[in-house]
Each structure stands twice: as structure tokens, then as C-alpha cells.
Structure 1
């Protein structure tokens, strides 16, 4: 519903319609919980979600931090945290991106946290709207503070008001 409302607001303006260590075994990439936030007895869902998250990193080393697990009202587990593929040891603080996964869902969602540029080419608009959808999903899961999606959407709308079309302002 929030996505629909956001698109209704955006489209008219466009002129168009944890314990440290490598506690989990992975096959292709290494993963480390850098801050001691790994649950003491991770469930199959938590282990599987972290393994799926690391597999997205391809052959890079993935570090995770700020892991937390909570239940939805439907008694499904939600895993939240931050992930970095920065090869530095330890990864730079600015390289971590929020992620979340819900039991029975399609897999972890990662908000890439790219800064919205001062101007956007018309061809890039959908890409930035999709990034916002990831933030919205993370907010609904309880993985980012309430209002995060709104702040992102407000900033994007301000940029889109002054967007470039075919290289022109």
C-alpha cells in the first residue's frame, strides 16, 4: 500500500503516469559476525538467511553486524542486521548496509544505501524508486527505524522535482 501511495505521489511529478567468529559454514564465501551479535543457538532460518546473504556477495568476504531476531504477529521469525562486502579487516563503518529477511520470504533484502544525487536522469528514476521499495520492506519488517522510508521518499521526491530529462534540466 505504501508503495502504491509513493508511486501516486512520484509519478505525477515525473510527467508520466554477533559471538565473533565464522560460526556459519558457507560453501563459496566467508562470513564473519564482527560484533558479537550472533544468536547463541541460531535457527535453521537464521543460518539459511545468512548463507543466502553471503552467497549474494559472490566470492567476496561478507561481514555482518547488529544481528537481531524477532517474531511477527504471525509467529514468523525476522532476521535484521547490517552487511558489508568491504575486503578491509575490519570493514569500514560506512560500508555496512541494512538487511532483513522474513521466515518464508524470498530471501534477504539489502538496502544498498546509495546517496541520492542532486539530479537524476529520467532513465534512472525507476531504479531509485526500487531502492526505496527495499527500504520500505525493511521498515515493515522492523529492521530500520520507523520513518526511514518516508525520509528516503521525501528526499527522492525533492530531487525528482528538478530532474533532468534527456540531459536537460
Structure 2
């Protein structure tokens, strides 16, 4: 019985690193570049992928959150900054999300949609919104985030259409 209890305790310790109360410690250790051992293998590999993808910037991570999908796959959400200062400004952070066994992590840089768009830029803004939609499906951004983005983009495009018909 004691062995079973000890085994259960040993197996539960790694799970504590991803429990809601453990997020701050994991995020802090990642942000300051210290001990990444507290993260799961999926988390470590995702962060390594992002570090490789943005090798010139040495990303700083924060607000890491890990949850599971209905298919029992892990989803990692968070933010990173490529700023070279020790304490990056909040507006320098971009959102990311990754699903275990999925493609490369999805990265979304929040940008304000301009009041007017050149016709050649429309596809760029539509594709930009697709990343936000992916993050919403992963549960990394609040539900309705993509809808707000899409509504604002459509409003700008409608305004452009009325100006071109004059």
C-alpha cells in the first residue's frame, strides 16, 4: 500500500507543474530563461520550436497556459516578445498556441486594422485573421475574438467599396 501511495505521489508531481496554481512559476521560469524542467515535454518542444523559428530575437515567454482538448491532446497557449530589453513592454508581446501532434505553433500579432486598405493588402489581412481564428479554436483567445476582427475588417472593406463607386 505504501508503495502504491509513493508511486501515485511521484506521478502526480509532474502534473502539478501544469495545474492552474503552477502556471505563474512555470511562466516565470520560462520568461527569465531559468529552469525549464518544470514544463511538460510538449511545452518544452513547443517553446524550442518558437525559439528556433525566431532565433534572431531570443523570444521571452509569459502567460503560459496548458489545457486539454476533447481528444485528450494538450494545447499550449501563451505570449512571447522579441524585444531585447530585460522587461519587454506589454505591446511587444504576440500570442501563440500549439496543439500536441499538430502543425507548427500558430503565432498571431495583434495589429489594428487601418481605416482604409489598399486592394493588394486585403488577402494579407484575411490571412492574418485566420491565425486568430485558429487560436480561438484552440481556446487560446476568448470566444468571439475572431468575429470581432472579421466584423471590423468587413466594415473597412465595405467603406472602401462605397468610396470606389463614387
- TM-score bracket for this pair, using the shorter chain length: 0.7 to 0.9
Task: Say which structure, 1 or 2, has more relative contact order (CA 8 Å, 6+ apart).
Answer: 1
What is the match of residue 139 of structure 1?
136
Unaligned stretches of 5+ residues in structure 2: 1-23
What is the match of residue 50 of structure 2?
53
What is the match of residue 33 of structure 1?
31
SS of match in other structure, 1:104: coil
TM-align CA RMSD:
2.5
TM-score, normalization: structure 1? Answer: 0.74
Unaligned stretches of 5+ residues in structure 1: 1-17, 22-31
Q: How many residues align?
A: 139
Aligned counterpart for 1:150 among listed residues 147, 154, 159: 147
1:161 aligns with 2:158: yes
Aligned counterpart for 2:91 among listed residues 75, 78, 94: 94
Structure 1 residue 41, shift from structure 2 partner: 3.1
SS of match in other structure, 1:162: helix
Please say if residues 36 and 44 of structure 2, whose CA atoms lie closer than 8 Å, have aligned partners that are also in contact. no
Q: For residues 39 and 104 of structure 2, what CA distance do their matches in structure 1 show? A: 17
> Quick one: structure 1 residues 130 and 40, their matched pair in 2 at CA, closer, same or farther if it must change by over 3 Å?
same
Structure 1 residue 90, shift from structure 2 partner: 0.5
TM-score, normalization: structure 2? Answer: 0.76
Structure that is richer in helix per residue: 2
